[in-house]
Amino acid sequence: MIDRILRQDIFKTNPPILVDVGASGGIHQRWKKIAPYAICVAFDADDREMQLTESSSSGFRRLITINRIVTDREDEEVDFYLTQSPFCSSALEPDMAALSRWPFQELFRVERKVRLKAAKLMNALGEAGIERIDWLKVDTQGTDLRIFRSLPESVRHEILLAEFEPGILDAYKGEDKLSELIGFMSKSYFMSRMDLKGVARISQTLMSGWPATKRRALRSAHRTSPGWAEVCFMNLLERNHDRRSYLLLCAFALAEKQYGFVAEIAERGRQATNDPFFEEVKVDALKQISGIQYKWPFFALRNRLNRAFLAVFD
């Protein structure tokens, strides 16, 4: 159904726009089904991980990668802290005092501070001929929310799906936190997914001199504390929207396996546009839900058998 949606004529002339800010970990895996139909713009400030390229043979309809730091300000250059791990590099200075309580402190150790070319997100997209964002992924090590808030309100309200990786523990000085992000995004979006990530709370000093085997054992023996999260928000489309927005949000929600939301948006799309194709999208989503329901009796029976088996040996 994702393919059927994205093969609609409207997306031939106005393809989905996927924007990845902080793409040092590679191109986003959740875009695999959408990529052949979409234009992707990927930003990364750390040139140790990504080159500046433009390609039409990347799996995307078109891929643009820009080695420029995205900020919420008009500054042409900003300080950037290159850390021991490229994935911890940030425009914010790591809070080494706070990080001393955690075993991964050394990953945030600053190797050098550099001045990098910077741009506000929409300014950089404008240079690439991009005027809108459909799916936004932001992972900038502490500045996700301020970048989203720096977008013009008209652009923000058209973003159909937004992903962030905000912090919970203190890792950077003055960073945006998960609680602030939830408070802001809840106005026009609903949180469709949150994957908590974390680490054991134990200082580097305490672990000093431990052999590698003992450090590995810590992962299974010690409770993990939430340190950051991967969160996904979907636009509620509370304002009037066009056929493209309804269709594309259905495709995105299908990719996220939010079948109930697909049915809801498809019905609203049908009412707004009188396009019978939305009914097919809705029926497909309901079939997906029915397929899930058919599996439940099997799992329920398996659980009863497991309990009965354990009771025999209790």
Q: Which two tokens stand for residue 288?
A: 């997906």
Q: pLDDT category, 91, cuts 50, 70, 90?
A: very high
**Which stretch, 101-105, 219-223, 237-241, 292-296, has highest mean pLDDT?**
101-105
Determine which of 158-162, 211-215, 250-254, 301-305 has the lowest per-residue pLDDT on average: 301-305
- The answer for residues whose C-beta is within 8 angstroms of residue 171's C-beta and 6 or more apart is 88, 94, 95, 98, 99, 108, 141, 142, 227, 228
How far apart are alpha carbons 53 and 64 in whole angstroms? 6
Q: pLDDT category, 116, cuts 50, 70, 90?
A: confident
pLDDT of residue 194: 96
Q: How far is CA 227 from CA 38, 56, 165, 302, in A?
A: 33, 37, 11, 35
How far apart are alpha carbons 126 and 123 in whole angstroms? 5
Q: What average pLDDT score do residues 135-141 get?
A: 94
pLDDT of residue 294: 47
Kindly report the backbone phi and psi dihedral angles of residue 59, in degrees, each rounded to the nearest multiple of 5, phi listed first: 100, -20
CA nearest 252: which of 267, 271, 235, 231?
235
32-82 confidence digits (pLDDT tens): 899 999 999 988 765 554 444 555 557 889 988 888 889 998 888 899 999
pLDDT of residue 75: 84
How far apart are alpha carbons 196 and 231 in whole angstroms? 8
pLDDT greater than 70 at residue 93? yes
pLDDT greater than 90 at residue 230? yes
Q: pLDDT category, 24, cuts 50, 70, 90?
A: low
Determine which of 3-7, 26-30, 193-197 has the lowest per-residue pLDDT on average: 26-30
238-283 confidence digits (pLDDT tens): 877 899 999 999 999 999 999 999 999 999 999 999 999 999 999 9
How far apart are alpha carbons 164 and 171 in whole angstroms? 16
Report yes or no: 77 and 116 within 8 Å, Cβ to Cβ. yes
Q: What average pLDDT score do residues 118-132 get?
A: 90
Question: CATH top-level class for 2-236?
Answer: alpha beta
Q: pLDDT category, 301, cuts 50, 70, 90?
A: low
Give the 3-state secondary structure percentages of the chain, helix then strand then coil, rounded to 5.
Answer: 40, 25, 35
